[in-house]
Amino acid sequence: MKSLKNLCLGGLGAVVLGTSFGAMAAQTPKTVSDGELKVGMEIAYPPFEYYEDEKVVGFDPEVSAELAERMGLKASFHDTRFPNLILGLNANRFDTIISGMYILPERLEQADAIPYAKTGAAIMVRADSAHKPATEKDLCGMTVGLQQGTSWVKKLNDLSAGYCAEQGKGAITVNEYPTSSETSQAMLSGHIQAHVEIASASQMMVDKARGRILISSPESIYPETLGIYVKKGNSQLLDSLKAALDEFKQSGEHSALLKQYGLEEA
């Protein structure tokens, strides 16, 4: 009788253990490389992602590592120029994009997205600039620099053709640069008069500029939601990332990380 009882309990334990392993396997999605979550990002965009010596640090690497761990995977980071991120995703060079990328209709036509943070943009000028624009409308008649591929290019061109033209305030000349740091250097060199960038990134640039740059806009402009992007049709990974993000939020750690980096809940 005792051995029969032990056999039954052992069998029940095996069923429970098997169910636990099965649930874990169901939560671990198929990825480009087994056991790895390959994350596409432009690693030149502090505080979102940047190098400290050879280590990739910042908000997005921290988010990526947390989500990967919750899915039974290990995150790896793949440095890609911002305009090429969605192309790389759809070419299966990586599994997801977590790179401070806004959720926009034109991007949702190419990939699916999960909201994970919210932010706005800031206007930066040289500290010795005579003109310190407080809002986007104050950029009329100025030469403004932006990182290539950002959503503000169209917004500022539309503002220039609409409001600026109607008010006779002069057009906004928009210059695009490969990276945010190159845009900032162009402003310091006098090639542009203002630099529009995500607010949290702007503050870090100002801190590093040692008084040469300041943020002239008292409030954020063009508030947007940031998204984790997944290739269309990859519903398994999309659902797994959503579940991992929900768990991350429920732990309270996500909210603390947003606060640390000056971001808001999406």
Q: In CATH, what class is 120-223?
A: alpha beta
Residues 80-114 pLDDT 10s: 999 999 999 999 999 999 999 999 999 999 999 99
Which pTM value belongs to this model? Answer: 0.78
Q: In CATH, what class is 30-119+225-260?
A: alpha beta
In whole angstroms, give the CA distance from residue 124 to residue 215: 4
Pick from 206, 9, 226, 6: nearest CA to 99 = 226
Residue ranges per domain, the chain? Answer: 30-119+225-260, 120-223
Asked if 123 and 215 touch (Cβ cutoff 8 Å), the reply is: yes
Matching CATH topology for 30-119+225-260 and 120-223? yes
Query: Considering just the CA atoms, what is the radius of gyration of the chain in Å?
Result: 23
pLDDT of residue 200: 87
Low-confidence ranges of the chain (pLDDT < 50): 1-26
Residues 107-141 pLDDT 10s: 999 999 999 999 999 999 999 999 999 999 999 99
pLDDT of residue 74: 98
